[in-house]
Structure 1
């Protein structure tokens, strides 16, 4: 594939995706699932912190286990590429996560929740998420025309951002009213709803091309593609760097807000929910900004704007309303940045990957990009224990800014449009 040029290519306006019933159903399915996820993201660490009196290291291990299965993406991606029925895999992934999450409220009713069970739930739901992600990109390509990749990613990112706006506030309220384990039922039901909607999408899935090599050979192909392609390599370096540092902060944020800032679950939910307004705005603006200044430049701005505000988390202090307002403002700016980066880079990754290699490319990419997240979480727990939570959060925000250097030193900074890649 050739390097991009600065001149945009006019491919005509993208199709009206909201009028496409198949894409609309897929979009609604993901939206429902995202709203459920926001509850579990708050409830799982709160179960560890409040019911099981977990230490910073134990909370960081919980976060790490959610992302650890991404290391299996190398093999799952190659395996998924050889499967014809990607929709079936998406449904199976949803059902696995629903069943595993329902084990927590059942154990709670019998007063039998343990840290070991919480770790297993994190690990198995993480596996379901990886399986879903590996099959999702091939399914996405079957639903969305190439010219609409950025628009489709923008719409789905807007839904995800809306879930971050309302989800934490609703989740915090549910946790306070029902307890964290019972609130997780909502997330389990959301996965069941997602599976039902996916089963209703009519789709023709062509069989994969004849197998040319072993599974290990396909794994190697995925790694070679990601590491040798200049755009994929730069995007991977950028997202892996920013994820490592932001997960140092993410693993400790709920603990920091709960113990050091002395905020209730409801107050934490309100702060994160209001801050997520930035994600909705960023997702909505991403296509417009990329058309105005170029896809690559927009992604670079996002790569700085996402981690930089997290350093200010270390300065949060004052009365409760001030602490909530400061956290909300930090999350607001950071959420704009992550969407400017994600929407454009995700569309770019799909565009430069051959259709028959989407699974193994996603597997190789996520094995590194997501596999580094547990490491970031564990480093966060270790630093939080040794030097304190505030210095650790400052290091995380400042270190994350280094991610933009990968894009600056690559062809990505010159890419104006998808067709220019």
Structure 2
């Protein structure tokens, strides 16, 4: 189980600056809804002979060949079927994925939304011909043509899975049961020293999402598209919250332990962590509050410099095929992308717990995206705060 979507602040800052430079060099200044005008790269129209190998960058738990656990292996079947030998590199952060993709040594990457936009803007990821990925037709509609994996209706990858950032609370110590993110923001002082928050600059979007609902005068439309006034309000909220935070977490084991001991009683979590904490005896529940939540959607993207594009396309189709997608989802702890995967899970309640087919549930989730100066919500009369500034602000927030 991977559970390490942490970001290295200084590196991310540099990557965000690279994003801006990539946009400029490709003639940006675009007024499209995404604010992007990526290089005019073409997707292949047909596949050729497989090249015998494929080089992948992935989150831990996405490319398992039995070496970590003999019972967990979906790579060997792929190699046997396609003749493409898999070489994979586990990345510890989205920024590391971006850096590795820039080397041109890798064919595909399992990018989260805080990396995918950078790869699209810089021209490191090529558009994908979904017609060459037969199992794409069975991917849930809510994962297609997202703001984080497409530009003007052109897909730049194949969706892999998704998850939400939930509010978890100790049922014995947090009463009445919370229904709002106010439990960790405006009402955080009630649990002073026992509030926990996700340790990443992208968490600023969680504050923005809360302000979108509670401060309509700020006119926030997209928590990843914040002008200076909106951004300052989110940062101010997080600085106030800091006085009540006992721990910023990035290690899921530490969060499980903190909720078991009572050191943490309320804060951000993922469904898989809530499941683990409950299984280990913690009195916890987790939910999507009334304001909605942020979340992630991972996408397999093909390098514009791929040396083994045919094997890469074979991998994209394999990883999103029903049985394999079900294996990955259960091992990793996320909702699968393929609508037919739910029939293949060993735990027949898995997709219900993870809301895999509940599109109304996912409509409440604002999936991670990369903030850039060209506002992602389509505004052209203001400049939005780019991710480099989010990184700087996060350091100030934490003190």
Which one has the bigger helix percentage? 1
Which bracket does the TM-score occupy, shorter chain normalised?
under 0.3
Which one has the bigger strand percentage? 2
> If the length of structure 2 is used for normalisation, what is the TM-score?
0.28
